[in-house]
């Protein structure tokens, strides 16, 4: 099959033929139709987040089931699916406690290989890694059967793909991780596909005031159209004093860092009221740290600082739920997608993301099947 392969960090990806295995027991192979470009792919491609090479990136994909392995009864060739990089096993310590996105058996999102060390991908006999638990910048993906979640055939696959990462992560961070309550005040720092999904999650949760900050005017305007009430330009205004002033000197109830900068986590913590909640959604470069100083102040202010992986989503529940919200007009997926490109333009798509052109670029990978 054709795939976009990264051989060296910070070098362009190349489209080339690689081999993909037939599905083994409990696996499915999916013909990828569309795959969105997420900043986590860019961080690996640029080398700010470590990963083994050669690797096929892409983890926000939709497609059509091509073949199923033995023991797979709930999917069949022709089914439309959204893929997830965190397939919950259902049985581990985390899954049985309702924390499926931390499933110990879906560590593939970090290791870029299946649990047994295989990837199902190779090039002239050499192993090729499955980026971010998927490898969606390719004509086919091999995954666990519970990593492909069936959706209604009436839902356009070219739109559904963004649920795979941006929407699960952003909406999930609000509904599952923070559990934002109706009438709350929310601050969102960084308005890419993830931050704009947080804005939509906050609107769904009934937040009454949604402050957003991003240096890019186009993204602030997009946030306004999706429900943000106060648009802040961090290059001209002081985000912390804006959020504090407009909440009567209290600070926001919830803040979400969605840019992936260690320093912004500190900004989010300062803008949040005592006993409020800060969720770190962005994945900062590996050498960034979180500074909480002085420790005694952190204790006394009783703030809750949280991380999140894929918005705390159990994808088997959340992908159909979010597709349902889209179908009933309560979640806008189209607004996140501002550009479409063929797989051959993978490097241009990564450049869109790195330069902040538009919001999400989706690659169309349907040519081969």
Ligand X SMILES: NC(=O)c1ccc[n+]([C@@H]2O[C@H](COP(=O)([O-])OP(=O)(O)OC[C@H]3O[C@@H](n4cnc5c(N)ncnc54)[C@H](O)[C@@H]3O)[C@@H](O)[C@H]2O)c1
Query: Which parts of this chain interact with Zn ion (CB under 5 A)?
Result: 38, 40, 89, 92, 95, 103, 105, 165
Query: Residues 340, 110, 15, 82: what is their CA dihedral angle, to the nearest 10 degrees?
Result: -40
272 touches ligand X by CB under 6 A: no
For ligand X, the closer CB: 123 or 261: 261
- From the list 12-20, 144-152, 280-288, 317-325, the region that binds ligand X by CB under 6 A is 280-288
For ligand X, the closer CB: 80 or 219: 219
Out of ligand X, Zn ion, none, which partner does residue 226 contact, by CB within 5 to 8 A per kind?
none
Binding ligand X (rule: CB under 6 A), the pick from 61, 155, 186, 194 is: 194
215 touches ligand X by CB under 6 A: yes
| Residue 291: Cβ-neighbour burial (10 angstroms; 0-12, 13-18, 19+) | exposed
Site for ligand X in 300-319 (CB under 6 A): 308-310
What is the rounded CA–CA span in Å between residue 20 and residue 23?
9
102 touches ligand X by CB under 6 A: no
Site for ligand X in 49-88 (CB under 6 A): none
Please provide the size of the chain in residues: 369
For ligand X, the closer CB: 169 or 185: 169
Minimum distance from CB of 16 to ligand X (Å)?
Answer: 26
Which residues pair with residue 80 across a beta bridge? 64
Minimum distance from CB of 78 to ligand X (Å)?
Answer: 29
- Helix ranges (H only) for 184-229 are 193-204, 217-225
Instruction: Compute CA distances 305 → 88, 114, 174, 186, 265, whole Å.
Output: 25, 31, 14, 15, 9
What is the rounded CA–CA span in Å between residue 85 and residue 59?
6
Q: What angle do CA 97, 98, 102 make, to 5 degrees?
A: 90
Closest residue to ligand X: CB criterion = 192
- Please report, as ranges, the residues that interact with ligand X according to CB under 6 A: 38-40, 43, 165, 169, 189-195, 213-216, 219, 234, 258-261, 264, 281-283, 308-310, 353, 356
């Amino acid at each position: 099959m054709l795939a976009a392969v990264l051989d060296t960090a910070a070098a362009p990806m190349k489209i080339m033929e690689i081999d993909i295995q037939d599905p083994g027991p409990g696996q499915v192979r999916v013909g990828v139709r569309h795959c969105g470009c997420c900043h986590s792919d860019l961080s690996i491609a640029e080398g700010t987040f470590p990963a083994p090479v050669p690797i096929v990136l892409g983890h926000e994909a939709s497609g059509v089931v091509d073949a199923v392995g033995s023991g797979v009864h709930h999917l069949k060739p022709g089914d439309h699916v959204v893929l997830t990089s965190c397939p919950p096993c259902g049985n581990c310590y985390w899954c049985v406690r309702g924390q499926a996105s931390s499933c110990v058996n879906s560590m593939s999102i970090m290791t870029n290989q299946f649990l047994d060390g295989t990837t199902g991908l190779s090039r002239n006999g050499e192993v090729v890694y499955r980026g971010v638990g998927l490898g969606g910048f390719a004509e086919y993906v091999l995954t666990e059967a519970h990593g492909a979640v069936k959706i209604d055939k009436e839902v356009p696959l070219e739109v559904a793909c963004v649920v795979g990462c941006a929407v699960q992560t952003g909406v999930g961070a609000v509904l599952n991780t923070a559990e934002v309550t109706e009438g709350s005040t929310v601050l969102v720092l960084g308005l890419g596909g993830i931050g704009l999904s947080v804005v939509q999650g906050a609107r769904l949760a009934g937040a009454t005031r949604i402050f957003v900050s991003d240096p890019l005017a186009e993204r602030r305007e997009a946030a306004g159209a999706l429900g943000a009430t106060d648009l802040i330009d961090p290059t001209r205004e002081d985000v912390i004093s804006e959020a504090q002033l407009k909440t009567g000197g209290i600070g926001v109830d919830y803040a979400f860092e969605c840019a992936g900068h260690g320093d912004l986590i500190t900004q989010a913590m300062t803008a949040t009221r005592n006993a409020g909640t800060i969720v770190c959604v962005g994945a900062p470069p590996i050498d960034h740290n979180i500074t909480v100083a002085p420790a005694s102040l952190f204790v006394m202010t009783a703030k809750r600082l949280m991380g999140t992986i894929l918005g705390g989503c159990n994808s088997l529940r959340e992908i159909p739920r979010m597709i349902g919200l889209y179908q009933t007009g309560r979640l806008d997926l189209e607004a996140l997608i501002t550009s479409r490109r063929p797989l051959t333009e993978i490097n241009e798509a990564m450049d869109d993301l790195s330069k902040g052109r538009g919001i999400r670029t989706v690659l169309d990978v349907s040519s081969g099947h």
